[in-house]
Amino acid sequence: MSMFQDIPVDVGIAYEGERIRRPQMYLEFGGPKVKYKFELARVRKPEEVEDGKVKIVGPDIKDLPEGSSVPLGILVEVAGSQLEEDLEGIIERRIHEFTNYINGFMHLNQRYDIWCRLSKEAFKKGLNSFTYIGKVMIRLYKADLPIIEKIQVTFITDPKEVERMYHEALKIYEARDARARGLRDEDVEEFYGCTLCQSFAPTHVCVITPQRYANCGAISWFDGRAASKVDPKGPIFRIPKGECLDPFKGEYSGVNKVVQEKSLGAIKRVWLYTAFGYPHTSCGCFEAIAFYIPEVDGFGIVHRDFKGPAINGLPFSTMADATGGGRQVDGFHGISIEYMRSPKFLQVDGGWRRVVWVPKAVYERVKDFIPEDVRDKIATDEDVKTIEELIEFLKAKGHPVVERWKEKEAEKAEAKPVEAEAVAAAPEAVPQITGMTGVSISGIPMAAGGLRIILKGAKIRIDKVVIKRTGSGGK
Amino acid sequence: MIISVSGKGGTGKTTIAALILKALIEETDKTVLMVDADPSTNAPIVLNIPVEKTVGDVVNVFRKKVLDTTELGLDKSRVIETWIMEILKETPRFDLLAMGRSEGEGCYCYVNAVLTSILDRLSSNYDVVLMDMEAGLEHLSRRTDRDVDIMLVVTDPSKMSLETARRIKELIPEVHVEVRKLYVVGNRIPDEDSESYAKTVRDYGLELAGTVPLDPNILSYSMKGLSILELPDDSPSYLAVKRICEKVGIL
A202-215 pLDDT per residue, tens: 999 999 999 999 99
Rg (CA), chain B: 19
Identify the pLDDT of residue A443.
41
Interchain CB distance below 8 Å, B124 and A110: no
**What percentage of chain A exceeds 90 in pLDDT?**
73
Q: Under CATH, what is the fold of the domain A188-461?
A: 3.40.1470
Indicate the burial class of A330 (C-beta count within 10 angstroms; 0-12, 13-18, 19 or more): buried
Q: Does residue A473 register a pLDDT over 70?
A: no
Indicate the burial class of B53 (C-beta count within 10 angstroms; 0-12, 13-18, 19 or more): middle
- Kindly report the nearest CA distance between residue A231 and chain B, in angstroms: 11
How do strand A288-293 and strand A37-43 relate by DSSP bridges?
A: unpaired
Interval A85-104: pLDDT, tens: 888 988 998 999 999 999 99
Q: Tell me which of A178 and A77 has the higher pLDDT.
A: A77
What's the pTM? 0.79
Q: What is the mean pLDDT of residues A193-207?
A: 90
Residues A259 and A275: beta-carbon distance below 8 Å: no
Query: Left if phi > 0, otherwise alpha if psi is -120 to 50, otherwise beta: which for A253?
Result: alpha
Q: Quote the CA–CA distance of B92 and A378 in Å, as a whole number.
A: 59
- Smallest CA-to-CA distance from A95 within A20, A153, A174, A9 is with A153
- Smallest CA-to-CA distance from A76 within A114, A36, A38, A32 is with A38
Residues listed for chain A:
475
Q: What is the mean pLDDT of residues B158-180?
A: 87
pLDDT tier at B144, thresholds 50, 70, 90: low
Q: Quote the CA–CA distance of A304 and A307 in Å, as a whole number.
A: 8
- Kindly report the nearest CA distance between residue B13 and chain A, in angstroms: 27
Identify the pLDDT of residue A186.
96
B174 and A CB contact within 8 Å: no
Q: Does the A2-181 domain belong in CATH 3.40.190.10?
A: no
Q: What is the mean pLDDT of residues A271-294?
A: 95
Identify the pLDDT of residue A422.
41
Rg (CA), chain A: 28
Residue to substitute from A25, A171, A174, A196, interface B, most B β-carbons within 10 A? A196
Max mean pLDDT among A302-306, B100-104, B241-245 falls in: B241-245
DSSP string, A353-383: GGEEEE-HHHHHHHGGGS-HHHHTTSEETTT
Q: What is the mean pLDDT of residues A275-279?
A: 97
Helical H segments across A145-189, by residue range: 159-181
Point out the residue among A113, A223, A304 whose CB comes nearest to the CB of B76.
A223
Interval A255-269: pLDDT, tens: 999 999 999 999 999
State the Cα angle at A198 between A196 and A201, rounded to 5°: 130
Interval B84-131: pLDDT, tens: 999 999 999 999 999 888 766 666 778 878 888 888 889 999 999 999
**What percentage of chain B exceeds 70 in pLDDT?**
92
Q: What is the mean pLDDT of residues B149-161?
A: 94
- Farthest CA pair distance, chain A: 91
How do strand B179-187 and strand B208-212 relate by DSSP bridges?
A: parallel
What part of A 286-325 touches B (C-beta under 8 Å)?
286-287, 304-305
If DSSP codes are grouped into helix, strand and coil, which group holds residue A209? strand
Four-residue CA torsion sign, A142, A147, A152, A157: negative
Residues B182 and B33: beta-carbon distance below 8 Å: no
**% helix / strand / coil in chain B, to the nearest 5?**
45, 20, 35
Q: Quote the CA–CA distance of A179 and A449 in Å, as a whole number.
A: 40
Q: Does residue B46 register a pLDDT over 70?
A: yes
DSSP string, A378-402: SEETTT-SSHHHHHHHHHHHT-HHH
How do strand B32-36 and strand B128-135 relate by DSSP bridges?
A: parallel
Residues whose CB is less than 8 angstroms from the CB of residue A14 and which lie 6 or more positions away in sequence, other chains included: none
What DSSP character marks residue B64?
Answer: I
**In order of start, what are the domains of chain B with their CATH numbers?**
2-55+89-101+126-248 (3.40.50.300)
Q: What is the mean pLDDT of residues B166-188?
A: 89
pLDDT tier at B65, thresholds 50, 70, 90: confident
Residue type, B6: S
B160 and A CB contact within 8 Å: no
Backbone angles phi, psi at B49, to 5 degrees: -120, 110
Q: Does residue B136 register a pLDDT over 80?
A: no
Point out the residue among B74, B79, B121 whose CB comes nearest to the CB of A17.
B121
| ipTM confidence | 0.87
Identify the pLDDT of residue A390.
97
If DSSP codes are grouped into helix, strand and coil, which group holds residue B196? helix
Point out the residue among B68, B90, B109 whose CB comes nearest to the CB of A197.
B109
- Smallest CA-to-CA distance from A185 within A248, A142, A101 is with A248
Indicate the burial class of A94 (C-beta count within 10 angstroms; 0-12, 13-18, 19 or more): middle
Q: Does residue A380 register a pLDDT over 90?
A: yes
A109 and B CB contact within 8 Å: yes
Interchain CB distance below 8 Å, B71 and A108: no
Q: Do domains A2-181 and A188-461 have the same CATH topology?
A: no
Q: Does residue A465 register a pLDDT over 70?
A: no
Tell me what the pLDDT averaged over chain A comes to.
88
Identify the pLDDT of residue A127.
98
Which of chain A's residues have a Cβ under 8 Å away from the Cβ of B76? 218, 223
Interval A353-378: pLDDT, tens: 999 999 999 999 999 999 999 999 99
Tell me what the pLDDT averaged over chain B comes to.
89
Q: Quote the CA–CA distance of B5 and B36 in Å, as a whole number.
A: 10
Q: Quote the CA–CA distance of B46 and B5 in Å, as a whole number.
A: 15
- Smallest CA-to-CA distance from A118 within A108, A104, A128, A132 is with A104
Identify the pLDDT of residue A179.
84
Interchain CB distance below 8 Å, B75 and A181: no
Identify the pLDDT of residue A433.
40
Interval A111-146: pLDDT, tens: 999 999 999 999 999 999 999 999 999 999 999 999
Interval A310-351: pLDDT, tens: 999 999 999 999 999 899 999 999 999 999 999 999 999 999
Q: Does residue B62 register a pLDDT over 90?
A: no
> Domain locations in chain A?
2-181, 188-461
Residues B20 and B250: beta-carbon distance below 8 Å: yes
How do strand B148-155 and strand B179-187 relate by DSSP bridges?
A: parallel
Interval A398-439: pLDDT, tens: 999 999 998 888 887 776 555 444 444 444 443 444 333 333
